[in-house]
């Protein structure tokens, strides 16, 4: 009942309230992003969501336009020159994730759940094992169990294991625990940099 109905209803209500309260902040951040470097305020990217279906995730753009297609890789690392001045601030504070409130309203995401992977990284949907595909049984989240247990420094096999564990134990108390742990992570800026290759590390 919680996973199928209550969680969705609470998420919609909270996302709507936050958007109503934060819209001036969102407008100011969007303006600062546009003034800081050429390109749109929002960054759109294809991700894998509920049942492995593709959707378009929204973020405030924190890197120079076209950075994703440069030869420096998809993920940003410490000191990455592609990150803009405003981008460094909104990444450090996780403000760049706020447009995902719209993803919640659209039904693509939830507040708590596995972070949605790229359509091709760490591997395409067809290369996930049956057990790994279980992480797609719930809506992806802005934050999740894997994020509060290492965030960007956890190798992908372990990250997916943590996501599947969340699917099996999803509950309101667990979601509240993840929420409070996430606030601590954001305030301390812990594990917020990609420190190396997390694809195959044991």
Residues 13-43 have pLDDT tens digits of: 999 999 999 999 999 999 999 999 999 999 9
Q: pLDDT > 90: what percent of the chain?
A: 75
Has residue 122 been placed in a domain? yes
Has residue 198 been placed in a domain? no
Has residue 75 been placed in a domain? yes
DSSP state of 45: E
How far is it, in rounded angstroms, from Cα 163 to Cα 196? 21
- Least Cα distance to 41 among 79, 103, 84 occurs for 84
Tokens standing for residue 67 = 């950075």
Predicted TM-score of the model (pTM): 0.87
51: alpha, beta or left? (left if phi > 0; alpha if psi -120 to 50): left
Has residue 48 been placed in a domain? yes
Report how many domains make up the chain: 1
**99 with 19: CB under 8 angstroms?**
no
Please report, to the nearest 10 degrees, the dihedral formed by the alpha carbons of residues 190, 85, 22, 148 taken in order.
Answer: -10
Residue 33 belongs to what domain range? Answer: 2-188
For the stretch 168-187, pLDDT in tens is 999 999 999 999 999 988 88
Has residue 197 been placed in a domain? no
Confidence band (pLDDT; 50, 70, 90) for 66? confident
How far is it, in rounded angstroms, from Cα 190 to Cα 187? 8
Secondary structure element (H or E) that encloses residue 12, with its range: helix 7-36
> What per-residue confidence (pLDDT) applies to 200?
43
DSSP state of 72: T
Has residue 194 been placed in a domain? no
Has residue 171 been placed in a domain? yes
* Dihedral of alpha carbons 154, 155, 156, 158, sign: negative
Please, what is the average pLDDT of the chain? 89
How far is it, in rounded angstroms, from Cα 35 to Cα 33? 6
Burial class (CB in 10 A: 0-12, 13-18, 19+), 191: middle
Tokens standing for residue 65 = 């336009």
Has residue 118 been placed in a domain? yes
């Amino acid at each position: 009942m919680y996973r199928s109905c209550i969680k969705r209803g609470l998420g919609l209500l909270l996302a709507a309230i936050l958007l109503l309260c934060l819209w001036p902040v969102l407008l100011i951040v969007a303006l600062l992003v546009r003034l800081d470097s050429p390109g749109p305020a929002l960054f759109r990217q294809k991700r894998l969501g509920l049942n492995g279906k593709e959707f378009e995730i929204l973020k405030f753009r924190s890197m120079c336009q076209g950075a994703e297609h440069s030869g420096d890789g998809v993920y940003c690392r410490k000191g990455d020159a592609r990150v803009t001045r405003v981008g460094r601030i909104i990444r450090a504070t996780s403000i760049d994730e706020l447009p995902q409130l719209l993803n919640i309203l659209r039904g693509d995401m939830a507040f708590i759940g596995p972070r949605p992977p790229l359509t091709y990284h760490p591997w395409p949907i067809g290369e996930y094992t049956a057990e790994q595909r279980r992480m797609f049984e719930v809506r992806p989240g802005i934050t999740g169990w894997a994020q509060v247990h290492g965030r960007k420094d956890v190798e992908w096999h372990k990250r997916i294991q943590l996501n599947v564990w969340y699917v099996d134990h999803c509950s309101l108390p667990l979601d509240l625990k993840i929420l409070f742990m996430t606030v601590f992570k954001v305030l301390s800026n812990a594990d917020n940099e990609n420190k190396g290759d997390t694809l195959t590390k044991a």
